[in-house]
Amino acid sequence: MKPKNIYAATPYHPEQELFEQLVKNKDVKIERIISKGHRSPAFGWYDQEKSEWILVLKGRAILSFENEAPMHLNEGDFVSIPPHKKHKVDWTDPDHETIWLAVHY
């Protein structure tokens, strides 16, 4: 087995966000997400069956939750999103990569 690096370069296409599954079993999925100016669609919300814990490893982002003020996230910030908590990504830094670690459980 060979170690991997969370900051390692990957094939990147700026027109789309990169979702890389790192670990998955029947209960947990861990993924690395790389954004650069990406955001959720203007209409609709994510409404997930499972909880999601997200950590911004690098970069900056703004999350919105239904009926709440936007949440600004910087490097090292994390948040736990309970099931069915409607949310979306309003902004990621267009000039620098935002690297997220997302744990769905």
Per residue of the chain (105 residues), give pLDDT as tens: 999 999 988 766 777 899 999 999 999 999 999 999 999 988 899 999 999 999 999 999 999 999 999 999 999 999 999 999 999 999 999 999 999 999 999
Residue pair 69/92 in contact by the 8 Å Cβ criterion: no
* Domains identified in the chain, total number: 1
Residue 7, in any domain of the structure: no
Rounded distance between C-alpha atoms, residue 63 and residue 90, angstroms: 6
Residue 62, in any domain of the structure: yes
Residue 67, in any domain of the structure: yes
Query: What CATH number does the domain containing 86 carry?
Result: 2.60.120.10
Name the residue range of residue 55's domain: 18-104
Residue 99, in any domain of the structure: yes
> What count of Cα atoms within 13 Å lies in the side-chain half-sphere of residue 14?
7
pTM of the model: 0.91
Residue 10, in any domain of the structure: no
